[in-house]
Amino acid sequence: SWQSPSGEFAFGFRQIGKDGFLLAIWFNKINEKTIVWSANGDNLVPQGSKVELTADGHFLLNDISTGKDRSIASSPATGVAYAAMLDTGNVVLANQNSTILWGSFDQPTDTILPAQALNNGSRLFARYNNSTNY
């Protein structure tokens, strides 16, 4: 996993039961490692799947079972110079001037964090049921 500078949050693949993995962000300093964001929703990927930031700025999740790439960033931006895992719990793509072009906060899933705003039209999706409690 990739930890934020303080270690409060981490980004990477989390195993969900025996079924597969979520590309997620979670609280890293608590025992339960509670997931606060996920890229692939309820679509688990098998072990060996990859996440990639391409040279042309695409942030992709590669599912090795299908061989298909899924775009994580909803509108990949040109000029992406780097990705960062921030202490706020936000994974961002930024340009050379450190202007954020995309962030996981822009696509909330099931949790709002203290530094995050829920924009008009955004929705949260609770994934808690009998078999999954992220």
> What's the predicted TM-score (pTM) here?
0.86
Average pLDDT over residues 19-30: 92
In angstroms, what CA-CA distances link 121 with 39, 107, 128?
Answer: 19, 11, 22
Closest CA relative to residue 125, chosen from 52, 41, 33: 41
Q: Please tell me which residue, 62 or 121, carries the higher pLDDT value.
A: 62
Residue 15: pLDDT over 60: yes
